[in-house]
Amino acid sequence: MKKLVDLQNISKSFDGELIIDDLNLYIRENEFLTLLGPSGCGKTTTLRILGGFETPDTGKVIFEGTDITKLPPNKRPLNTVFQKYALFTHMTIAENIAFGLKIKNKSKSYINDKIKYALKLVNLDGYENRMPDSLSGGQQQRIAIARAIVNEPKLLLLDEPLGALDLKLRQDMQYELIRLKNELGITFIYVTHDQEEALTMSDTIVVMNKGYIQQIGTPEKIYNEPENAFVADFIGDSNILPGIMIEDKLVEILGAKFACVDEGFGNNTPVDVVIRPEDVELVPEGTGTIEGEVSHVIFKGVHYEMEVMARGYEWLVQSTKCFQVGTKVGIKVDPFNIQIMNKPVSEDEEAIGVDE
């Protein structure tokens, strides 16, 4: 697929504080790309640079081969859906949606057709003459999306658009957004701190922390093969353990040897090991690779979440089988489910500030 947007060597600081440091990223046509990270990681600033609301200190924004770094927002061939809807409260829904088209001097009949089409698309037909304040949060967000897409942008930027909605509505809207993207065939860049949202909707996830890109990949790749401890910790629950790569396909964790599938880390290299809680297998005492004792059990609906104390480390385990607190168990892990990562060598790979 063709590159639509190319961010080259973007840096930005506010009041002497570096928010984005030498960021390079391209977005392909028709992609659903999510910028994911904790607050303050630079994801929103990246989006605002794309929208034209911030100018980067260094670097270029290339859109279809043209440098748009210095172009004001109203001249850019893209539209934004803002966090708290940002509807024009003094205008009706129809006037809100028509705003961009009127500025572009489109004909009345064209605008009316577009309003009808956009309202149908977001399942709110018949709302033309309502005022924004009389709509629920979810409906207002749909209008904000409708208002953006009637302008037929090549790229739609979405800044945590579902952040203000409740859980059920948020899940419904996630499916709506995927449907919209497929129907419209435009590129979405989505900003969120919600890893589940990112995994559900994206073609590509860009995990960011402290102004650096930590990993770029498909949701499966990001979840199953995190490149460093930050990504592993931020995306879902995980056990991150210190380990030593003894040789190819053999890692020592907490003094016990586990078979794995990773190669090329060298011999006797210290590494980080990620094991997802659902990949930890609990077996009867004496049959596991290492032995431990169940210390906590919580029922989570689909599965039980247990903590198992083994060799001084509290293992997080998710299983449909329940083991009572105090049960002595063995721990086994399938070689495919052990993910080996290099220890952080430079600052930008450090797993810092997850809770910040």
Partner 1 sequence: MNKKILSAPYLLWSVVFIIIPLLMVFYYGLTDKSGAFTLENILAIATVEHSKALWLAIKLSIESTIICLILAYPLSMILAKLNVNQHSFIVFIFILPMWMNFLLRTLAWQTLLEKTGVINSILKTIGLPGINIINTSGAIILGMVYNFLPFMVLPIYNSLSKIDKNVINAARDLGANGFQTFLKIMLPLSTPGIISGITMVFVPALTTFVISTLLGGSKILLIGNVIEQEFTQTGNWHLGSGLSIVLMIFIIVNMLITAITDKDGEGTML
DSSP structure class, residue 262: -
Q: Is the Cβ of residue 53 or residue 117 nearer to partner 1 in the bound state?
A: 53
- Rounded to whole angstroms, the Cα distance separating 10 from 24 reads 7
Rule CB under 8 A: choose which of 3, 18, 82, 244 binds partner 1: 82
Q: Is the Cβ of residue 21 or residue 160 nearer to partner 1 in the bound state?
A: 160
In whole angstroms, how close is the CB of 316 to partner 1 at the nearest point?
A: 39
249: left (phi over 0), alpha (psi -120 to 50) or beta: left
Sequence-separated contacts (24+) of 295-298 with Cβ below 8 Å: 295/325, 296/325, 297/322, 297/323, 297/324, 297/325
- Window 263-292: residues binding partner 1 (CB under 8 A): none
* Window contacting partner 1 (CB under 8 A); options: 147-155, 205-213, 276-284, 323-331: 147-155
Binding mask of the shown chain, residues 41 to 60, with x at each position contacting partner 1 by CB under 8 A: ----------xxx-------
In whole angstroms, how close is the CB of 167 to partner 1 at the nearest point?
A: 24
130 in contact with partner 1 (CB under 8 A): no
- Window 83-112: residues binding partner 1 (CB under 8 A): 83-84, 86-90, 99-100, 103-104
Q: How many residues bind partner 1 (CB under 8 A)?
A: 25
In whole angstroms, how close is the CB of 171 to partner 1 at the nearest point?
A: 24
Structure tokens at 129: 């003459």
255: left (phi over 0), alpha (psi -120 to 50) or beta: left
Give backbone dihedrals phi and psi of 108, rounded to 5 degrees, phi first.
-60, -45
Structure tokens at 49: 């640079």
35 in contact with partner 1 (CB under 8 A): no
Q: Is the Cβ of residue 186 or residue 260 nearer to partner 1 in the bound state?
A: 186
Report whether 16 contacts 38 (CB < 8 A): no
Binding mask of the shown chain, residues 185 to 224, with x at each position contacting partner 1 by CB under 8 A: ----------------------------------------
Give the end-to-end CA distance of the chain in Å, rounded to a whole number. Answer: 36
Q: Which residue has the tokens 């899940």?
A: 171
Helix (H) or strand (E) holding 229, with range, is helix 229-234
The site for partner 1 (CB under 8 A) is made up of 51-53, 72-74, 76, 79-80, 82-84, 86-90, 99-100, 103-104, 144, 147-148, 151
